[in-house]
Amino acid sequence: MEKTRLTPIRFPVDLLLELNRFVGQGQRSKFIIEATQKELLRLKQKKALQSAAGVFKKEDYPGFAGPGDVSSWVRRLREDIGK
């Protein structure tokens, strides 16, 4: 069994009532855990994207001057993979 720890969390009453309306009895913890996992993943991805911003310099990749160039490159990659 996975280790767990009980932790008190304060919810706004209206949010808790809405949660209870949409999530079945005995499923609240599971729902909150899954929602927290999804949001943490989103935050980690956002942080990774922010830290990677600016890694590619325009002068280093003149073939990617605009969105059309990037789309063409992706299309060629996909065609090569299919061969």
Widest CA span in the chain:
58
Q: Among 9, 29, 6, 5, which residue's Cα sits nearest to residue 19? A: 29
pLDDT truncated to tens, each residue of the chain (83 aa)? Answer: 589 999 999 999 999 999 999 998 899 999 999 999 999 999 999 999 999 888 877 788 777 878 788 888 888 889 988 76
